Structure 1
Amino acid sequence: MLIQIGPFAILLKWILLGAAIVIGLVYIKWWMRHSESNKMNKKVYDLLFNSLILGFFIWKGSLVVLEPSLMMKNPFSLLYFTGGRSGIVLAIIGSIIFFFFKAKKLNISHLFVLQSVFLFSCAVLCGYHILALLFIHLNNISHIFLSLFTIIILCISLIKPKVLSQKGIFTSLILFFFLNLILSIAFGKIGEKIFIFSLEQWFYFCSIIVSLRYWDKTSVY
């Protein structure tokens, strides 16, 4: 479904994603106010916001890599189009690398950084999948499973803060990415594949491997 905003036609799902990001920012701001690391809150929040801006530009600019022929025919298409789902994957990877690299230089506690990114991501995903259920009415099974999963994680993290230990976070991530991989194989659209997986599915698979690697590490960077 397309929404017309002036000369721009934007897919409804991207508008919902933008709304979900706002929900994530509000949630993480609330969580930080109730955390014990008040001195680091503003640094982490500002870094998170800057990473989101970088991610937006990567998402828009990924069109150059993903659709070079389109860019060569009409360079102004960058204003009207995005990199789509594959671009989102590249944006997420770029934002995460930037976030953890800058956090290391700022000497911010790695566990607090990990907790902030994890809870923000859960809040965004929860918000997006609930909004998608209400407004898009496609892939309802995936949206139901993923929204329930993130709601459960957010509730458990509030009731039992121990789930926000490094092991708890990476255990949740492994389960989440595995669930996404299964749902994308079972209900996802069949698009261009690299070997046996799409770019999105490779992202889930590699994320599981990375999470397993850092599950029992003393530091994530």
Structure 2
Amino acid sequence: MINTEWYSIRTLTLPATAVALLITFFIVWLILRLQFSKKWSELYSDAIFTFIIVWKLSLLVTDFKTVVNNPITLLYFNGGTMGVLLGVIVASLQIWRKRQSLQLEEQEMIAGSWAIILTQSIYQMLAVLFNDNNISSEVITLAVLSVVTLVILWRLVAVKQALILYTISYLIVAIFQPLGIGQTAVAVSVILLCLGLTIQHERINVGGKK
């Protein structure tokens, strides 16, 4: 979705997409905290912190000269699309590195998938509600992702299939959005799918050897 609105929090002005992302992080963290073991909410919050830090500091990579000349720009700007992708990749690698500390029970496998799917789904829905884009694309996004997310949360499909189902659904939805299939969120969705499938595959292999 294209950002069309800005929100002010005292002296800080944030785009609607950033506000949607921050609210999403809190909601998903709260769900993990209430529904699953404490370690999942801690792992999620650590990954989010890593994402934000890398995203902000990525300006050193994308516009090093400006940062050197005016370091305070790090407070107000970020690395844009490149920064988002770097943040997601580093946060995903952090989660993958800590995978050995996670339980292999089915309940814990569901927690990981929920975190990946809900983060994307809630963000997309809030981005629609907080901005003013094409009505048809907004309706399609809300309708499709709502139905798919409910199907997944009701556990009507297995964990691995849930990750694939959501990603495919979002790719289809993205076609009807203003920025199309080439938007950053699509690349993020694919990265998170790979993270989820990698962890699930490893768990299944380890579980099968027990």
Tell me which interval the TM-score lies in, with the shorter structure as reference length: 0.7 to 0.9
1:56 to 2:52 alignment = yes
C-alpha distance in 1 between matches for 2:8 and 2:108? 38
Deviates more, 1:90-99 or 1:108-117: 108-117
Query: CA offsets, 1:145-164, max 9 Å, x none?
Result: 333333223311333x2524
1:66 to 2:62 alignment = yes
Q: Between Structure 1 and Structure 2, how many residues are aligned? A: 201
- Counterpart of 2:18 (choices 14, 28, 31) is 14
Whether the 8 Å CA contact 1:61–1:78 is kept in 2: the answer is yes
Q: Give how far 1:215 is off.
A: 11
Q: Give how far 1:142 is off.
A: 4.3
Q: What's 1:194 paired with? A: none
TM-score (norm 2): 0.74
TM-score (norm 1): 0.71
Q: How does 1:106-145 map to 2 (within 5 A)?
A: 106-109=101-104, 114-138=109-133, 140-145=135-140
Shift in CA distance, 205/101, structure 1 to aligned 2, threshold 3 Å: closer
Q: Greater RCO between the two (CA within 8 Å, min separation 6)?
A: 2
Q: Give how far 1:43 is off.
A: 1.6
Q: Give how far 1:82 is off.
A: 2.0
Whether the 8 Å CA contact 2:32–2:40 is kept in 1: the answer is no
Whether the 8 Å CA contact 1:64–1:71 is kept in 2: the answer is yes
1:165 to 2:195 alignment = no
Identity across matched positions, percent: 17
**Cα RMSD after superposing both structures:** 3.5
Whether the 8 Å CA contact 2:125–2:141 is kept in 1: the answer is no
SS at match of 2:13: strand
Q: Give how far 1:92 is off.
A: 1.6
Stretches of structure 2 that go unaligned for 5 or more consecutive residues are 206-210
Shift in CA distance, 200/154, structure 1 to aligned 2, threshold 3 Å: closer
Stretches of structure 1 that go unaligned for 5 or more consecutive residues are 33-40, 191-196
Shift in CA distance, 117/4, structure 1 to aligned 2, threshold 3 Å: same
- Counterpart of 1:75 (choices 67, 71, 76) is 71
Whether the 8 Å CA contact 1:170–1:214 is kept in 2: the answer is no
Shift in CA distance, 140/65, structure 1 to aligned 2, threshold 3 Å: farther
Q: Give how far 1:52 is off.
A: 0.9
- Counterpart of 1:3 (choices 4, 7, 14) is 7
Q: What's 2:84 paired with? A: 88
SS at match of 2:7: strand
Q: What's 2:179 paired with? A: 188
C-alpha distance in 2 between matches for 1:214 and 1:124? 18
Q: Give how far 1:137 is off.
A: 0.8
Q: Give how far 1:180 is off.
A: 5.8
Q: What's 2:147 paired with? A: 152
The one-letter code matched in structure 1 to 2:30 is: V
